Structure 1
């Protein structure tokens, strides 16, 4: 029996090492880890998604994305024929953005963010994983590998200006009830992980290892 190909896309500025604790049954799944590329000029999110989709060499892949990676895999799905699309700690449309992100779009305040300051490890960790970083900076530093200003400027703008307003009904959404980047009160129709924060790919990996195989195989059954 051929294995199910599962492509993982990390969150904003993060490397694929954030998935090091994810362990899918090797006899059933082939795991492929994707990495962020530096955007080309004024590349749109759709253009970027098309370029990233060229890295997917399997037919009917499973696409799993975290945070901004979750937004990206939804855009990649337009160029592929995925078997499943699963997003973790992310959003299905811009309607699930918190109010501060909607205000940033309207006022264009995101253009005032001094991206060079975000390159500081503590600020980048807060930006990518949420405010509740506590004493885990050394850990987060390990996972934050993309510190290119052009990438950060581009990525922040692509998130804030994301145009999707209609939910793709096929997308499976896994979300923590303590996510401080995309608060659960704005999220609908998600599988809620109790105690999960925006960095739950790191800290609720046991839950994910237990449930991801079934979500990949069978999706969400009626009544779930």
Structure 2
């Protein structure tokens, strides 16, 4: 499951041995009116037809697959660049929950990447905007408002110890200092599923099979 509003195209460079694995990519759907995260997770879980799947989610997708695991008998749950409970949220997200500041985020600006690019400066910023334009597949204000709220208000406080957590030490969305019990990818940012794909291609298969759950 990709990250918030992202397309499954973020996994386009992830390669696993076809003899051992069959990959099924999930996409975000527009939530129903006042749909809870639990109900949404149940609805997306219905799309999985294989028994005992390994669920893998990135960022908000990592939160979602943990909720999906309540409704499906998953062999393993692996989260990437995500969190295992709201206790791993950075301070700014906790403040946003208390003050409801997340309601002030201009979703229309996020949707209009073309106009945003006109006012950006620097190669790094423009490169990131191009990535967003390529991989941001859900450009629906209702979805974005719903998704941001569901992240901020996620109520899980008890960690599922069976969840395998892979996290970058340079993640600027969920800083590593707040994360407990994870396999650390050196130099990994929040979008490391894109730019650290070689690491995932070398290690993810072994992690799924249980022959390697630590990172050098």
Compute the TM-score of the two structures, normalised by the length of structure 2: 0.92
- Corresponding residue number in structure 1 for 2:29: 37
Please give the secondary structure, in 2, of the residue aligned with 1:30.
coil
Count of aligned pairs between the two proteins = 210
User: Quick one: which of 165, 177, 180 aligns to 2:157?
Assistant: 165
1:212 aligns with 2:193: no
Residue 20 (structure 2) aligns with: 28
Deviation digits for residues 120-167 of structure 1, max 9, x if unmatched? 227999xxxxxx755242233111111100000000000000000011
Instruction: Look up the match of 1:196.
Output: 188
Aligned equivalent of 1:128: none
User: Which is further off, 132-141 or 176-185?
Assistant: 132-141
Task: State yes or no: 1:114 paired with 2:102.
Answer: no
Pick closer, same or farther for the CA change 1:182–1:53 going to 2, 3 Å.
Answer: same
CA contact (8 A) 1:172 1:220 kept: no
**SS of equivalent to 1:78:** coil
Asked whether the equivalents of residues 84 and 219 of structure 1 are also in contact (C-alpha less than 8 Å), the reply is no
1:58 alignment partner in structure 2? 50
Unaligned runs of 5+ in 1: 1-8, 126-131
Hey, which of these two has a bigger chunk of strand by percent?
Answer: 1
Q: C-alpha separation between the residues in 2 aligned to 1:59 and 1:67?
A: 24
Counterpart CA distance in 2 for 1:72 and 1:95 is 16
Q: How far apart, in 1, do the equivalents of 2:186 and 2:44 lie? A: 32
Q: In the alignment, what sits opposite 1:92?
A: 84
Distance change (3 Å), C-alpha of 1:123 and 1:16: farther
1:104 paired residue number: 96
Aligned with 2:166 (options 163, 174, 182): 174
* Alignment check: 8 A CA contact 1:110 1:156 kept: yes
**Change beyond 3 A, Cα 1:191–1:124:** farther
Q: Is the 8 A contact 2:31 2:146 kept in 1?
A: yes
TM-score, length basis structure 1:
0.89
- 1:68 deviation in Å? 0.2
Name the CA shift for 1:161/1:33 in 2 (closer, same or farther; >3 Å): same
Q: Cα gap change, 1:122/1:194 in structure 2, threshold over 3 Å: closer, same or farther?
A: farther
Q: Say whether the 8 Å CA contact 2:185–2:215 is kept in structure 1.
A: no
**Deviations for 1:157-195, whole angstroms, at most 9, x for unmatched residues?**
000000000110110000000000000010010100000
Classify the secondary structure of the residue corresponding to 1:33: coil
